[in-house]
Amino acid sequence: MKYLLILFCVTYSKAKYVDLTYALNKDVVMWPGRENTFHTEIEAELPDGTWVASKGFCISEHTSTHIDAPYHVYKNGGTLDKIPLDTLLDVPGVCIDIYDKVQGVRNGQARVTSNYVITKEDILEWEEKNGQIPPKALVLVRTGWGKRWPNVFDYLGIPKDHRTTTEATGDTETKNSSIVNNEMSKHLNFPGIDATAAVFLSVERQVNGVGIDAISIDAGNAKTFPAHKIFGRRGIYMLENVANLHLLPPRGFQLFAVPFKVDGGTGSPTRLIAKLP
Ligand SMILES: [Zn+2]
């Protein structure tokens, strides 16, 4: 009995971590016109038998699962290195699931609303079921768009007749980041956050940050980036291309977001981890 109790305590106290991060590699989906390169500096056995391996990359700050600093969209906003650590680490997590609204699953039939935007109404509906969003939270929005990752055209929502490609150049590995050209940024379709939700979250719920499982917190057809501007002006950071949101409960978990420390940075690939009780 004693041993059973010990076993139970050990099992029970073990926190579960969920990695909400896509790996950094040549397959990541990039905003049209942006390009990443990855290369090997050395990967060899030296004459004395010593093994040495070192690789390098040249990437946009907005690559893979990443954070947008307020300065990315607001001239007077804080840069990456100025985001306070206590707003990034061990903050209360919330996951608002609008999968059914975006994917339009009704009577077993899917009718996707590509540019669906989560509204204040949607959030109030979530709060009715799950309670009010706690202050200083990091609010993640699950749209289900992540299941398209890393198919670049599907994830960016580019219609079939606009799927032209730019030829990959050089001897470095570029793949997804080089096949969508600037022209395609006119034909983006994916879900996002609308202005009513952005104001509600930042003013009435005083969130630390927001995140989404798409390439931008603004929908693909939102050409003036209203949600980015609302959050940026209020010093709230944004996380994009968040992975694995289907593994999270609506609330009751803590989040840890760890970006690089780049002086004057506008954003950075970010390791985002949820700690479940
Ligand atoms: Zn970004």
pLDDT digits (tens, 9 = 90+) for 29-78: 999 888 889 999 999 999 999 999 999 999 999 999 999 999 999 999 99
- Say whether pLDDT at 170 is over 50: no
Q: Mean pLDDT across the stretch 115-120?
A: 96
pLDDT digits (tens, 9 = 90+) for 223-232: 899 999 999 9
| Ligand 1 centroid distance, CA of 81 (Å) | 15
| Ligand 1 centroid distance, CA of 52 (Å) | 34
Q: How many CB atoms lie within 10 A of CB 25?
A: 15
| Ligand 1 centroid distance, CA of 30 (Å) | 10
pLDDT confidence tier of residue 91, bands split at 50, 70 and 90: very high
Whether the CB-CB separation of 32 and 156 falls below 8 Å is answered with: yes
Phi then psi for residue 110, to 5 deg, are -95, 130
| Ligand 1 centroid distance, CA of 27 (Å) | 17
Classify domain 14-30+61-276 at the CATH superfamily level: Putative cyclase (3.50.30.50)
| Ligand 1 centroid distance, CA of 268 (Å) | 8
Q: How many CB atoms lie within 10 A of CB 202?
A: 19
| Ligand 1 centroid distance, CA of 171 (Å) | 27
| Confidence at residue 175, expressed as pLDDT on a 0 to 100 scale | 58
| Confidence at residue 3, expressed as pLDDT on a 0 to 100 scale | 55
Question: Which residues 6+ apart lie within 8 Å of 4 measured at CB?
Answer: none
Q: Mean pLDDT across the stretch 134-138?
A: 97
Domain boundaries, the chain: 14-30+61-276
| Confidence at residue 157, expressed as pLDDT on a 0 to 100 scale | 94
pLDDT confidence tier of residue 110, bands split at 50, 70 and 90: confident
- Say whether pLDDT at 104 is over 90: no
